[in-house]
């Protein structure tokens, strides 16, 4: 597929990816229409593949790449750095970072999964959504309720061990909900505990995806601002060799320093 050729030549071969200046091809109806029409198209054909039981790794990555480059054509500009850190450890890792919008959920598989197979830790309500729900469920997520922290810890530890033993890495956003504000106190240590229990490294990551704002009533229906650059940064893998508190703080420091570097210190809630 042509879109996979683009992955090999543009994303996989580099430590960083910066959208070229001529990457956007906005139609007459504008960026927002083009952006959301791409989302609708990909969600519809992905659901068809789920129903046919063929929404496998290949098709998941293909749909994510379709969104990644489709958003770029709609005017979104990316700056992704530290991609070599994704594969510095050969086995499974824990990717732990902040969660700002739906954009990272849809596009991170395009960046990570071709070189390191991943599953997400996700809220149960997201698997119950029309259209998005079946797609989420088809990708073997670890499902938590986010209402009982003790029960969630048990689920994450038990189900996380199974995924890791199967050779899969895990992406976790340890905060209650998607928000452009990084709430340091609300950023839990589930990921660090899972990494320590299974003796796998952590790859911290920070992101800035406020180009797709969260909607007031429906989070997936927020405004699109193509003047804001989408940024991902992956840090060096590290082993949790302390009781957990220092490693947890290390991830927090990584995220806050990146947000500050990107001029969004106002998004940090301490």
Q: Which of residues 96 and 26 earns the better pLDDT score?
A: 96
pLDDT at 86: 94
CA–CA distance, 243 with 192 (Å, rounded to integer): 9
Percent above pLDDT 70 for the chain: 93
3-class SS at 124? helix
Q: How confident is the model at residue 219 (pLDDT cuts 50, 70, 90)?
A: confident
pLDDT at 7: 55
The predicted-structure confidence for 145-200, as pLDDT tens digits, reads as follows 767 778 888 898 999 999 999 999 999 999 878 899 999 999 999 899 999 999 99
Q: How confident is the model at residue 13 (pLDDT cuts 50, 70, 90)?
A: low
Max Cα–Cα distance, the chain, nearest Å: 56
Which residue do the tokens 């949790």 mark? 240
Q: Which two tokens stand for residue 101?
A: 């919008």
CA–CA distance, 253 with 238 (Å, rounded to integer): 14
The predicted-structure confidence for 240-252, as pLDDT tens digits, reads as follows 999 989 999 999 9
Residue 144: strand pairing partners: 123
The predicted-structure confidence for 94-143, as pLDDT tens digits, reads as follows 999 999 999 999 999 999 998 899 999 988 877 877 778 889 899 999 99
CA atoms within 13 A on the CB side of 137: 16
Which residue do the tokens 């997936």 mark? 220
DSSP string of 204-246?
EEEEE-TTBPPPSSSGGG--B-TTSPEEEEE---B---SSSHH
CB 193 within 8 A of CB 157: yes
Q: What is the span of the domain harbouring residue 211?
A: 2-269
Number of domains in the chain: 1
Tell whether the model's pLDDT for residue 72 goes beyond 90: yes
**Averaged pLDDT of the chain:** 89
CB 115 within 8 A of CB 12: yes
DSSP string of 173-192?
--SSS--SSEESTT--SHHH
CA–CA distance, 81 with 62 (Å, rounded to integer): 22
CA–CA distance, 190 with 194 (Å, rounded to integer): 6
């Amino acid at each position: 597929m042509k879109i996979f050729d683009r992955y090999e030549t543009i994303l996989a071969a580099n430590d960083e990816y910066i959208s070229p200046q001529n990457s956007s091809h906005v139609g007459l109806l504008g960026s927002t229409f083009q952006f959301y029409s791409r989302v609708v198209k990909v969600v519809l054909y992905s659901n068809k593949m789920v129903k046919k039981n063929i929404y496998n790794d290949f098709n998941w990555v293909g749909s994510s790449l379709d969104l990644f480059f489709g958003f770029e054509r709609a005017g979104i500009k990316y700056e992704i750095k530290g991609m070599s850190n994704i594969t510095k450890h050969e086995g499974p890792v824990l990717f732990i970072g902040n969660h700002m919008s739906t954009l990272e959920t849809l596009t991170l598989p395009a960046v990570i999964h071709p070189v390191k197979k991943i599953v997400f830790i996700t809220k149960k309500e997201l698997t119950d959504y029309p259209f998005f729900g079946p797609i989420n469920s088809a990708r073997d997520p670890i499902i938590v309720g986010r209402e009982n922290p003790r029960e969630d810890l048990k689920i994450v530890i038990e189900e996380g061990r199974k995924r890791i033993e199967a050779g899969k890495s895990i992406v976790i956003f340890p905060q209650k909900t998607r928000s452009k504000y990084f709430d340091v106190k609300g950023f839990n240590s589930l990921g660090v505990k899972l990494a320590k229990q299974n003796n796998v490294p952590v790859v911290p990551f920070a992101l800035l995806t406020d180009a797709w704002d969260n909607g007031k009533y429906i989070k997936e229906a927020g405004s699109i601002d193509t003047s804001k650059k989408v940024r991902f940064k992956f840090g060096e893998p590290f082993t949790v060799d302390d009781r957990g508190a220092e490693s947890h703080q290390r991830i927090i420091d990584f995220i806050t320093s990146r947000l500050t570097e990107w001029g969004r210190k106002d998004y940090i809630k301490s």
